[in-house]
Amino acid sequence: MRKIIITIGFVLILLNSIIGFVISGYNPFNIIMVDVSLFFTTSVIYFSLQSNMPDGFKIGYTVIFSFTGLMRLICSVIAQSDFTNNFAFVGFAILLCLEIVCVVIGLSLKDK
């Protein structure tokens, strides 16, 4: 399962990059944001499955991180190319911080 997640993440990043080269209207800023989003989603799902958390956390986190990854992907696609008043980028950052907090909470609860 873990190797499949890495493979799927790599294929999606490769597909996004190829689409970015083919479609001229696809902004390079958005290409990079989508690639980063896919990388973080793949990494955090892989990390949660690799850790010693209870299986309930692993299953729940896989579902939650897949959903928040999709939300970050949408934020990445609709984001403006500058950082001024870029609410999509703010949403991207908030979702990423929430994912990190969830992983820290899951890792801290495994000891109890």
User: How much is the pTM?
Assistant: 0.85
Q: Dihedral of the CA atoms 11, 15, 16, 21 (nearest 10)? A: 140
* CA–CA gap between residue 58 and residue 107 (Å, rounded): 11
In angstroms, rounded to a whole number, what is the distance separating the alpha carbons of residues 39 and 31? 12
Closest by CA position to 1, among listed 42, 34, 57: 42
pLDDT in tens, 62-110: 899 999 999 999 988 888 887 788 898 899 889 989 988 887 887 787 6
